[in-house]
Structure 1
Amino acid sequence: MAPWTGRMKTSLLGRHVHPAEFSTWEGARRYHERHRRSRETLAHLRATIPERGIEEPLLIGVRERDRHVFVYEGHPRAVIALEMGVPSFPFRWFWDPHLTQVQAEPFPWHVLGR
């Protein structure tokens, strides 16, 4: 069965959906701006998103034990979505710690209102 792909409002980043590797989205942005390869990725996204939007889905994790929701893969896309005011982005999701099992079922939106 193919992975489920949905759309999430960018406004949920920060309030309900957190970066996995950084304490804040601003911290994620600063990190990516400091590293050449990441800077190039950010520049590419800034140039292409106005015309094509975000094409590659972000990968969102939901921790089973406490329902913490986080971006596992796609931090640069999330940073640029926030920066450019992109209204929503495509995403797929998995129950953490089962990273290899991207879900075919719809996202459990109720976890955002814990």
Structure 2
Amino acid sequence: MWKWGNLLLAFLVELVALGIFAWWGWDTGSTTLTRWLLAIGLPVVTAVVWGLFAAPTATRGTPVVRWIVKVLVFGLAGAALWSLGHPLLAVVFVVVVAANLAIIHVQKLQPTS
């Protein structure tokens, strides 16, 4: 149950990151058109990159590339949240992500019984 809970949390923080990018895109755009393009485009590009390199079923890249993509996506999501004027939420988000990734990594290293 612990393992599944952590995997569920990993999925939820991935969705939250996409939402943060949409929010940041909408807030950053100066016109209605750029707001829509950024609010839709950033999450779509992020999801494609994630699917190619960081998803559990990703077929491209190495484990190092997988970690780099994860750090970039979650780090940029935290930075975007900070720039939106929510530094406490940004710190909480990054700490939750880091703890979740660490727990999942340790679980993979432990032998199953």
TM-score after normalising by structure 1: 0.26
Query: Greater helix share, 1 or 2?
Result: 2
Compare CA radii of gyration and give the structure with the larger one.
Answer: 2
TM-score after normalising by structure 2: 0.26
Query: Greater strand share, 1 or 2?
Result: 1
Instruction: Say which structure, 1 or 2, has more relative contact order (CA 8 Å, 6+ apart).
Output: 1
